[in-house]
């Protein structure tokens, strides 16, 4: 069982929909991450939160909006996505931003119609 829990596991949405991905960890980690992974490619970093503050934004389009309500939760709000945004979205955590290793959740497989 993974220590980082992501919901939902699968999501199909239209380009005009608004949805959210959720991530939760109870390891006391203070850094949380969102990655996007396309098939046969490595994970691509999107956002890093450190102590609930946005630390890194890798020039991600504004149709992706992260939120960190508290030290255990990380959300990714989705709006007006494009078909090319279909991918596996991975959440990860680490004790602190400069720490490794990162613990990954099982991911949300997102399909945009």
Based on CB atoms, which residue is closest to other proteins, 4 or 112?
Answer: 4
Q: Taking CB under 8 A as the rule, does residue 66 contact other proteins?
A: no
Of residues 78, 85, 104, 110, which one binds other proteins by CB under 8 A? 104
Q: Does 105 bind other proteins (CB under 8 A)?
A: yes
CB of 76 closer than 8 Å to CB of 103: no
Give the Cα separation of 76 and 34 in Å (integer). 8
- Whole-number Å distance between alpha carbons of 113 and 109: 13
* Helix, strand counts (H, E) of the chain: 0, 11
State which residue, 67 or 106, has the beta carbon closest to other proteins.
106
- Tokens describing residue 53: 């503050």
Which residue from 1, 28, 42, 69 is in contact with other proteins, where contact means CB under 8 A?
42
- Helix residue ranges, H only, 1-113: none
Q: Is 34 in the site for other proteins (CB under 8 A)?
A: no
Positions that interact with other proteins (CB under 8 A): 2, 33, 41-43, 45, 48, 50, 55-56, 88, 90, 97-98, 100-107
């Amino acid at each position: 069982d993974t220590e980082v829990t992501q919901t939902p596991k699968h999501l199909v949405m239209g380009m005009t929909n608004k949805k959210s991905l959720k991530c939760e960890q109870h390891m006391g980690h203070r850094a949380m991450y969102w990655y996007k992974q396309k098939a046969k490619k490595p994970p691509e970093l999107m956002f890093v939160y450190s102590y609930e503050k946005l630390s890194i934004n890798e020039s991600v389009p504004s149709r992706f909006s992260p939120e960190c309500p508290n030290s255990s939760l990380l959300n990714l709000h989705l709006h007006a996505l494009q078909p090319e945004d279909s991918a596996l979205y991975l959440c990860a955590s680490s004790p602190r931003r400069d720490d490794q290793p990162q613990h990954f959740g099982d991911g949300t497989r997102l399909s945009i119609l």
